């Protein structure tokens, strides 16, 4: 989308004025392109939109008290004015007529360089060009008159492609090479001879830190069979820092090659001395400063009054980290964002602001173990860890900020997967799982019952069903359409931020309602030959060394202590989650929507969870099928005598969701049509 070579651009005259302001941390914006969205199509009362792409330039002051939390900023290279420079690629969608804009910027904190706010547009065809009307689907965000800003913030996004990049400030200078210990772990499900040192998510390979000296004795490669299993050292002669290129093995400072190959199912771990760190936390400051620029600079390219940050999965964790480390105050002491929508973050934060941090690293049920993703504290309010005696809360710093007149409004939104795969119960219980903990009045927590991670699985299900008894089928992927809830919640948050209209009460499973239980207490229905989850992802207390509170890792791999207690939602007689927002699929069920999926058929850890995915198990169609299979769940013909009765129940459920403000009125028809499609598919699928 935006090349890394120098841009052939023009600079907006208004942005040139920024350099004159002592506190304007956005110093320049270069515009690469400025085009009408969808050929000038009008989006409701907001009218036509334009799409702007370019690069924004920042400076940070190492002496400013609101930049002190940026690890390594004091060690970064500085310009002649003593400031540290960085840049980000961006895409902006804005109403062409300022008078028709809503005055609200929605900042898409892009996930590994990829834009995420498309989830709010039903029918969006993201494989098309952004010039196409169909690319924006029903255009909800545009019809609301929002200014949508997508900004690169992550240094380790690989160059090229249509991802948004961030030019992080380098640490040190060319005359002084700075090194540090870095760890890269790799779990593969197919044999290979080469692995990259950067984290891989699907087809996306992040950049890794280069090895400083391939011959350094600090460089080791180990293998183990389980996350807590004993590590076996692999002889140094059996591997090298290299990769494969055109059938040849060539030296590569960011890859590891082993002639005998890496075995599927094993956990490999490279600990090595790396070089050339960057100021990773400057990416968080860039997100802060883009919204401050839009809010407080009258001559900005899209002046707004309010700012809301949206992050999903990795960037949902980013927002939790952003709040914890008090990044929501700019260099002039002004509030940056007015609202936050942290989606599917679970209990996590991440490697977003420490020495040699790797932002792409996360924590998955059987991958990327023991990174600083799920670390105490987890709850907004203060809590105590009885084992370490540590005390703290995600928002503890807020009480010390005397200049802040209003707390930002925050939505924490998860699905059922985040309880099994992201330790979400830790966000609202004591770390021993013994007691509920609440939230600040300026916060809401919403859990979409039985939803898999981030977005729904395909429907009709893709591929063959999993192994099962006769007449019982289970499919990989949970198609519960959580997007309808997400759309309504976004409008709820906008109304709260802009008009002070209080959103619906929090909805999530809890100990007090007995909808949150230990994994061994879940009363799953009897579904013959369907393996059930018993082992949720569990974070551990980790010791990264004495300087971790300064953002420096001295111990790799970290010392692993006691696990934290993880709880999961209880289920109903069909197997769907209790507690939280129960979508129409759960209120008028045709299937069991397990928000988890097991590694059945994979080379190792088949009792562990697949990352991010759920399982779809249709109900028996008839009482005869139910009896033949021994399924304890009710059959469809028992639950619904006729199709008309089924649709009446669907209409009643969507009506309740609209009244509760968990579904937009315009989406009730969409939900009904989807349920009709599901009914017809169920009836004709043998």
Query: Do strands 409-415 and 339-343 pair parallel, antiparallel, or not at all (unpaired)?
Result: parallel
**Backbone dihedral angles phi then psi of residue 437, each to the nearest 5 degrees:** -130, 140
Query: Do strands 26-36 and 10-11 pair parallel, antiparallel, or not at all (unpaired)?
Result: antiparallel
CB 347 within 8 A of CB 374: yes
Q: For residue 464, what pLDDT is reported?
A: 61
Retrieve residue 534's tokens: 């018993």
Q: For residue 344, what pLDDT is reported?
A: 98
| Three-state secondary structure call for residue 363 | coil
Query: Nearest 10 degrees: CA dihedral of 315, 316, 317, 323?
Result: 100
CB 86 within 8 A of CB 92: no
CB 636 within 8 A of CB 608: no
**Backbone dihedral angles phi then psi of residue 167, each to the nearest 5 degrees:** -90, 90
Domain ranges of the chain: 10-169+280-448, 179-275, 475-479+496-538+569-684
How far apart (Å, rounded) are the C-alpha atoms in residues 389 and 387? 6
How far apart (Å, rounded) are the C-alpha atoms in residues 559 and 43? 54
Burial class (CB in 10 A: 0-12, 13-18, 19+), 582: buried
How far apart (Å, rounded) are the C-alpha atoms in residues 629 and 633? 11
Q: For residue 126, what pLDDT is reported?
A: 85
We find that the CATH architecture of domain 10-169+280-448 is: 3-Layer(aba) Sandwich (3.40)
DSSP 413-479: EEETHHHHHS-GGGGSB-TTS-SB----TTEEEEEETT--SSSPPPSSPPSPPPS-STT---EES--
Q: For residue 17, what pLDDT is reported?
A: 42
Sign of the Cα pseudo-torsion (453, 457, 462, 465, in order) = positive
Residue 333 has a CB neighbour count (10 Å cut-off) of 14
CB 342 within 8 A of CB 411: yes
Place of tokens 């949206």: 310
pTM of the model: 0.95
Q: Which residues of the chain have pLDDT under 50?
A: 1-17, 19-23, 399, 401-404
Query: Before 138, cis peptide (omega within 30)?
Result: no
The residue count of the chain comes to 686
SS3 content of the chain, % helix, strand, coil (to 5): 20, 25, 50
CB 511 within 8 A of CB 430: no
């Amino acid at each position: 989308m935006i090349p890394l070579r120098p841009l052939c651009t023009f600079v907006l005259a208004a942005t040139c004025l920024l350099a004159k302001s002592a506190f304007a941390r956005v110093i320049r914006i270069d515009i690469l392109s400025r085009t009408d969205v969808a050929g000038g199509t009008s989006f409701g009362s907001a009218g036509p939109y334009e799409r702007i792409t370019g690069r924004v330039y920042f400076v940070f002051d190492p002496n400013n008290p609101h930049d002190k939390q940026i690890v390594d900023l004091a060690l970064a290279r500085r310009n002649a004015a003593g400031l540290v420079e960085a840049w980000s690629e961006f895409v902006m969608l804005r109403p062409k007529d300022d008078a028709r804009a809503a005055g609200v910027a929605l900042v898409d904190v892009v996930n590994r360089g990829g834009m995420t706010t498309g989830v709010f547009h039903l029918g969006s065809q993201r494989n098309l060009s952004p010039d196409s009307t169909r690319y924006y689907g029903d255009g909800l965000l545009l019809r609301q008159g929002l200014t949508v800003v997508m900004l690169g913030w992550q240094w380790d996004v690989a160059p090229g492609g249509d991802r948004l990049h961030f030019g992080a400030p380098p640490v040190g200078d060319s005359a002084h090479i700075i090194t540090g210990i870095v760890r890269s772990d790799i779990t593969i499900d197919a044999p290979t001879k080469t692995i990259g040192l950067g984290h891989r998510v699907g087809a996306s390979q992040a950049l890794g830190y280069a090895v400083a000296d391939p011959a350094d004795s600090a460089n080791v490669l180990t293998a183990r069979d389980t996350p807590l299993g004993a590590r076996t050292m692999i002889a140094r002669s059996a591997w090298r820092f290299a990769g494969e290129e055109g059938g040849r093995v060539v030296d590569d400072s960011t890859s590891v090659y082993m002639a005998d190959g890496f075995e599927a199912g094993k956990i490999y771990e490279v600990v090595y001395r790396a070089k050339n760190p960057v100021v990773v936390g400057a990416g968080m400051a860039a997100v802060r400063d883009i919204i401050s620029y839009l809010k407080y600079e009258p001559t900005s390219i899209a002046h707004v009054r309010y700012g809301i940050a949206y992050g999903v999965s990795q960037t949902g964790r980013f927002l939790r980290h952003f709040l914890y480390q008090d990044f929501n105050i700019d260099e002039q002491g002004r509030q940056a964002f007015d609202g936050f929508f942290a989606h599917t973050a679970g209990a996590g934060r991440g490697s977003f602001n420490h020495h040699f941090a790797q932002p792409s690293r996360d924590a998955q049920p059987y991958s990327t173990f023991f990174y600083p993703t799920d670390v105490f504290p987890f709850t907004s309010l203060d809590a105590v860890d009885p084992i370490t005696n540590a005390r703290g809360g995600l928002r503890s710093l807020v009480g010390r900020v005397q200049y802040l007149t209003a707390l930002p409004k925050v939505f924490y939104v998860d699905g059922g997967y985040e309880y099994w795969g992201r330790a979400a119960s830790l966000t609202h219980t004591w770390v021993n799982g013994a007691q509920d903990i609440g939230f600040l009045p300026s916060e809401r927590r919403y859990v979409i019952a039985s939803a898999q991670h981030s977005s729904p699985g395909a429907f009709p299900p893709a591929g063959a069903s999993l192994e099962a008894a006769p007449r019982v089928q289970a499919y990989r992927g949970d198609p519960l359409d959580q997007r309808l809830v997400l759309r309504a919640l976004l409008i709820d948050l906008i109304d709260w931020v802009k008009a002070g209209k209080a959103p619906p009460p929090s909805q999530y499973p809890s100990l007090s309602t007995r909808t949150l239980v230990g994994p061994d207490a879940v009363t799953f229905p009897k579904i013959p030959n369907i393996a059930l989850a018993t082992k949720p992802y569990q974070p551990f207390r980790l010791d990264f060394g004495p300087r971790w509170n300064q953002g420096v890792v001295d111990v790799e791999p970290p010392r692993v202590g006691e696990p934290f207690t993880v709880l999961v939602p209880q289920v109903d007689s069909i197997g769907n989650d209790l507690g939280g927002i129960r979508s129409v699929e759960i209120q008028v069920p045709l299937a069991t929507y397990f928000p988890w999926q097991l590694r059945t058929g994979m080379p190792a850890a088949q009792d562990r969870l697949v990352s991010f995915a759920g399982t779809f198990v249709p109900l028996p169609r008839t009482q005869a099928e139910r009896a033949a299979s021994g399924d304890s769940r009710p059959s469809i013909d028992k639950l619904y005598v006729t199709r008309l009765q089924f649709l009446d129940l669907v209409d009643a459920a969507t009506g309740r969701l609209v009244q509760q403000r968990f579904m937009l009125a315009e989406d009730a028809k969409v939900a009904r049509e989807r349920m009709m499609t599901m009914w017809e598919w169920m009836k004709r699928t043998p």
